[in-house]
Structure 1
Amino acid sequence: MNRRDFLRSSAILAGVGAGAGALSACRTLRSDEEAPVRLDAAAFHASRRLVDTSFGRIASVERGKGPAALFLHGFPLNGFQWRGSLERLSRDRRCLAPDFMGLGYTEVSEQQDLSPQAQADMLAAFLDALSIRDVDLVANDSGGTIAQLFMVRHPGRVRTMLLTNCDVHENSPPPQMRNSIAAARAGTYDQKLARHLADRAYARSSSGIGGSAYVDPANFSDDAIDYYLAPLVSTPQRRAQLNRHLAAFEPNPLLAIEPALRRSRVSTRMLWGTADPLFPVIWADWLDRTLPQSRGVRRVEGGKLFWPEERPDLLAEEAQRLWTS
């Protein structure tokens, strides 16, 4: 599958319906401020840089100055998932959206460990390379697995944590992912993503990512499909890494860290879509009971797995509240 031209300037849909206000600023600009640059596919592509670490060259997009905030994407997405949040929050934080190893545009060797634990350690090396000591974490989906592991494996490096629908405790990975993980182990999951690129109606159907993970399947736009999925099937090596990345989420890496979560002093807030069959709200409530410094759960009515991409306004509002609490 040939990549499309990522440098074209067609728009990316980033909100749920016309009322989402997805491309507007989240507060009134001062007279001495400039409006933020909209991060469509072309702008995001132009902003991407590769950061050298011992794990490989980590692709990342950065916006803003000040204390760092680290945005951890879901599967099989990349940092582009957070474009709307970066637009809104770059006035408050130095916002970084890296791509995990085996996904997006990050470059690693064929031998590189792609397990969630290795991903967490990669983030520490990534921050070290940028001379960043600690961060506010924002995470979604499998990125939430890695966020929890990072907090436990690298104590003192997390100021706050904002978790959206993601793996939690026994629900990691969720049972609905068993067939996909089996396909990844067999080396064939990449074929499903190649079908998304070839058949956009399928990509937005209930069997595809658009229909299953977005409230409005149209928000899984052609630009987003290309930007997320084209690099994953671009070469045999990338296809193999995609399969290894997914397969590495078994066995469950989160059961062992429950005692550490119960000792955590990190202020954490959960924002949870209520229409996500993979990660029911009961798991947000489990985190609320388990984390000593929980700041509670906000239910996002009707939200599916990738609601943070569709509702960056809500995500930014809650992030700002957590950071200033």
Structure 2
Amino acid sequence: MNRRRFLALSTGALAAGALAGGLSLAAAAAPAANGPLDAAGFRAARRFVRTRYGRIAYVERGRGAAALFLHGFPLNSFQWRGAIERLAPHRRCVAPDFMGLGHTEVADGQSVAPDAQVGMLLALMDKLSIDRADVIASDSGGAVAQLLLARHPERVRSLLLANCDTEIECPPAAMLPVIALSREGKFVDQWLAPWQADKRLARSPDGIGGMCYLDPGNPTDEAIDNYFLPLLASAQSKARVHAYAVALDHNVLEGVGEALKRSTAPTRVVWGMGDTIFSPAGAEHLQRSFGRFQGLRQLEGSKLFWPEERPDVVAEEALRLWATV
């Protein structure tokens, strides 16, 4: 047995032993030894894989069974940096940027609608030799994750959902002004550009911070640059953000209920109860939606993008869920 294989097996054995021995899941999910994924580290870790959908940007850390992290709008895979640090000792963590967001270079004429995003993920998984993955998803990434599970259940080992679209709330009412402005080609310049230029505004009650984060210090300057600069880079990048939003103008999850109910993938939901975008009714709906539901955890006060603020919770809940697989 070579050293790499020995280390991978040892890591899995230590994690299992820690859980069996009563060590807290948060402690078992300590940050990876190869350092934090700050902006510089994340940029250095970014890779690209060429598919018919374009050059898909992703970050990968860890070895073993794969975990796939699906981000929200208008963020990118940088959202998952803290969770990846903590879960890389236990999984091969892969976090792509959706088409139309982040650093993915979309092929000419390519749709960025949720159906196309599912196809992109399958192509990415095939390129990376990932047969099945533990999927962790947030916001519009959660809608894509549900479509992936409904249409390709053999590719999803387990599913951990944070606040996201559901069949009864897709899109949420709070998204309608974004869709309307995007249809006019104005959302990026009227919302994202001012937030990028004035980061205090971005963190104000009227900015993305007040809307989607609990900590008034979030998103950090570093996060704002990582999220918005790629979207503001060109007329083409702006147009793709608008196309992403406009593609959410109808219920992309309509009719998935029966397929989700047939699913045998263990599924758990963690819901920020302070969310002003998605209502608690969505969490209640998800409790009844899956064939192998593993429970709901409510985070009092936390808002839509709580996974970025509370990576320890993501790691704790992922390890809890993965122990049921």
Normalised by the length of structure 2, the TM-score is: 0.89
Q: How does 1:46-125 map to 2 (within 5 A)?
A: 46-125=44-123
Report what 1:153 is aligned to.
151
Question: Residue deviations 1:295-325, cap 9 Å, x none?
Answer: 0100011110000100000110010010012
1:166 is the counterpart of 2:175:
no
Q: How far apart in 1 are the matches of 2:155 and 2:114?
A: 17
**Kindly tell me: are residues 184 and 28 of structure 1, through their superposed partners in 2, closer, same or farther at Cα, counting changes over 3 Å?**
closer
Q: How does 1:186-205 map to 2 (within 5 A)?
A: 186-191=184-189, 192-205=191-204
1:27 is the counterpart of 2:27:
yes
Q: How far apart in 1 are the matches of 2:210 and 2:32?
A: 36
Report what 1:274 is aligned to.
273
1:318 is the counterpart of 2:317:
yes
Q: Is the 8 A contact 2:32 2:88 kept in 1?
A: no
Q: Is the 8 A contact 1:67 1:94 kept in 2?
A: yes
**Kindly tell me: are residues 260 and 29 of structure 1, through their superposed partners in 2, closer, same or farther at Cα, counting changes over 3 Å?**
closer
1:190, CA displacement in angstroms? 0.9
1:119, CA displacement in angstroms? 0.3
Q: Is the 8 A contact 1:110 1:237 kept in 2?
A: no
* SS class of match (2:229): helix
Q: Is the 8 A contact 2:37 2:81 kept in 1?
A: yes
* SS class of match (1:172): coil
1:292, CA displacement in angstroms? 1.8
Q: Is the 8 A contact 2:132 2:154 kept in 1?
A: yes
Question: Residue deviations 1:275-307, cap 9 Å, x none?
Answer: 002112221121111212000100011110000
Q: How far apart in 2 are the matches of 1:100 and 1:218?
A: 26
Letter in 1 for 2:47: R
Q: How far apart in 1 are the matches of 2:156 and 2:260?
A: 13
Report what 2:126 is aligned to.
128
* SS class of match (1:218): coil
Q: How far apart in 1 are the matches of 2:275 and 2:75?
A: 17
1:34, CA displacement in angstroms? 7.2
Report what 1:303 is aligned to.
302
1:36, CA displacement in angstroms? 3.4
Question: Residue deviations 1:110-131, cap 9 Å, x none?
Answer: 4111100100111000000011
Q: How far apart in 2 are the matches of 1:83 and 1:157?
A: 23
Q: Is the 8 A contact 2:29 2:316 kept in 1?
A: no
- Which of 31, 35, 38 is the matching residue for 1:37? 35
**Kindly tell me: are residues 165 and 29 of structure 1, through their superposed partners in 2, closer, same or farther at Cα, counting changes over 3 Å?**
closer
Question: Residue deviations 1:163-191, cap 9 Å, x none?
Answer: 00000012011011111101111111111
Letter in 2 for 1:240: A
Per mean C-alpha deviation after superposition, the further-off stretch among 256-265 and 302-311 is 256-265
Question: Residue deviations 1:80-114, cap 9 Å, x none?
Answer: 00000000000100001100000000001341111
Q: How far apart in 2 are the matches of 1:170 and 1:113?
A: 24
Q: Is the 8 A contact 1:29 1:35 kept in 2?
A: no
Q: How does 1:183-262 map to 2 (within 5 A)?
A: 183-191=181-189, 192-262=191-261
Q: Is the 8 A contact 1:142 1:166 kept in 2?
A: yes
- Which of 172, 175, 180 is the matching residue for 2:173? 175
Letter in 1 for 2:59: V
Instruction: Provide the aligned length of Structure 1 versus Structure 2.
Output: 299
Unaligned 5+ residue runs, structure 2? 1-24
**Kindly tell me: are residues 34 and 231 of structure 1, through their superposed partners in 2, closer, same or farther at Cα, counting changes over 3 Å?**
closer
Deviation >4 Å, runs of 4+: none
Q: Is the 8 A contact 1:168 1:254 kept in 2?
A: yes
Normalised by the length of structure 1, the TM-score is: 0.89
Report what 1:4 is aligned to.
none
Alignment RMSD, CA only?
Answer: 1.6
1:27, CA displacement in angstroms? 3.1
Q: Is the 8 A contact 2:58 2:97 kept in 1?
A: yes
Q: Is the 8 A contact 1:110 1:241 kept in 2?
A: no
Percent identity for Structure 1 against Structure 2: 51
Per mean C-alpha deviation after superposition, the further-off stretch among 138-147 and 278-287 is 278-287
* SS class of match (2:102): coil
Letter in 2 for 1:195: P
Q: How far apart in 2 are the matches of 1:209 and 1:277?
A: 11
Q: How far apart in 2 are the matches of 1:304 and 1:185?
A: 26
Q: How far apart in 2 are the matches of 1:105 and 1:111?
A: 17
1:26, CA displacement in angstroms? 4.5
Q: How far apart in 2 are the matches of 1:280 and 1:170?
A: 10
